[in-house]
Amino acid sequence: MPKAIIVRQTGGPEVLKLENIAEPREPGPGQVLLRHTAIGANYMDIYYRSGMYKAPRLPMVPGMEAAGIVEKCGKGVKITPGTRVVYGTSQTGAYCEKRLINAKHLIGIPDFITDEVAAACFARALTAHYLIFRTYIVKKNDTILVHAAAGGVGQMICQWTKHKGAKVIGVVSIPEKANIALANGCDYVIVSSQQDVVAEVKRITGEGVPVVYDSVGKDTFSKSLACLRPFGILVSFGQSSGPVPPINILNLAPKCNFITRPTLMMYKANRAELVLTAVEIFQMIESGKLKINIGQRFPLEQAAKAHTAIQSRQTIGSTILTV
């Protein structure tokens, strides 16, 4: 019998339990039976597991990103069985050996990319793409601020914006991550446990930055806002330290700043945009302009350990579950 990680009630990493599940039924119209080969572990999974985000239902199989091999196709699906595919926009259901999934989420994996690399990067690269091309269009000579610059998404934002000609200020939590951020395109690195982030940004830029990419949330939100120049935008796309507390909108008035809370599901809901973005991501990887760092690997049955490591903010790059 195939195995899956099941969450029967929300809570800490201990609620992630490996269980046997029934063999999936035959795929229905528009569906594919997929055998996973590698699974991405993301902060989004932690939000659903903890109850910060409301799960579609309980019990739940967490996970939104994985790579695998198509075994069977339902009516109307134009994918050949045996094709390697990846997805990163499925709401939940990835932490398992086999699953049924709507084919609209699937993208074929090119021969030059391994399943592990695909699972490690796809949702993160999709996120980086919409953040720097849609939420705020990073321009040549922009000086931008990226929190969690040594993390999976952070590394991709830094690499991609550097190739766009921007100057990148990366923020990391501990000194050991500074060299990682520098190697991934940062021109400047601020160690938040040792330096005053706002003072350093003002020293480097004089007036602040046009955009802050903040996936940390509660602990960094007010500092991120203070780092903006007039008419700058705070892009709050995660909350690894906890939810952002309520704010007084008048706090935006002195510099006419903007705040947005974007999500991958909204930006990449359109199938045509998803496909075009995937092509661009794969081209960046093939050219060597986007390097994927798999910092941690855990077997599927150790999903709880993976979540603990991610939440500790001690991980570097992407984390995957092996199947």
The answer to whether residue 127 sits within a structural domain is no
State the pLDDT at residue 314: 75
pLDDT top residue among 55 and 7: 7
Contact 60, 6 (CB under 8 A): yes
Strands, E assignment, 97-246: 98-102, 107-108, 143-146, 167-172, 188-191, 209-214, 228-236
147, 253: one domain = yes
pLDDT band at 55 (very low <50, low <70, confident <90, very high): confident
pLDDT tens digit string along 234-250?
Answer: 999 999 999 999 999 99
State the pLDDT at residue 316: 85
State the pLDDT at residue 248: 95
- Residue 114 belongs to a domain with what CATH number? 3.90.180.10
174, 97: one domain = no
pLDDT band at 118 (very low <50, low <70, confident <90, very high): very high
Q: Is the pLDDT of residue 151 over 80?
A: yes
Q: Is the pLDDT of residue 16 over 80?
A: yes
Q: Is the pLDDT of residue 267 over 80?
A: yes
User: Of 226, 244, 261, which residue is a domain's last?
Assistant: 261
8, 118: one domain = yes
Q: Is the pLDDT of residue 187 over 80?
A: yes
Contact 111, 118 (CB under 8 A): no
110, 197: one domain = no
pLDDT (average), residues 101-117? 97
pLDDT band at 166 (very low <50, low <70, confident <90, very high): very high
Average pLDDT, the chain: 96
pLDDT (average), residues 292-313? 94
94, 168: one domain = no
Domain count, the chain: 2
Domain of 149, in residue numbers: 140-261
State the pLDDT at residue 320: 97
Report pTM.
0.94
State the pLDDT at residue 81: 97
pLDDT band at 85 (very low <50, low <70, confident <90, very high): very high
State the pLDDT at residue 56: 85
State the pLDDT at residue 293: 92
Q: Is the pLDDT of residue 313 over 80?
A: no
Mean pLDDT check: name the lowest of 172-176, 194-198, 298-302.
172-176
State the pLDDT at residue 71: 98
297, 250: one domain = no
Handedness of CA 17, 18, 22, 27 (dihedral sign): positive
pLDDT (average), residues 217-243? 96
Residue 197 Cα distances to 5, 69, 102, 138, 190, angstroms: 39, 45, 43, 21, 7
Any residues with CB less than 8 A from the CB of 45 and at least 6 apart, and which? 62, 63, 64, 95, 307
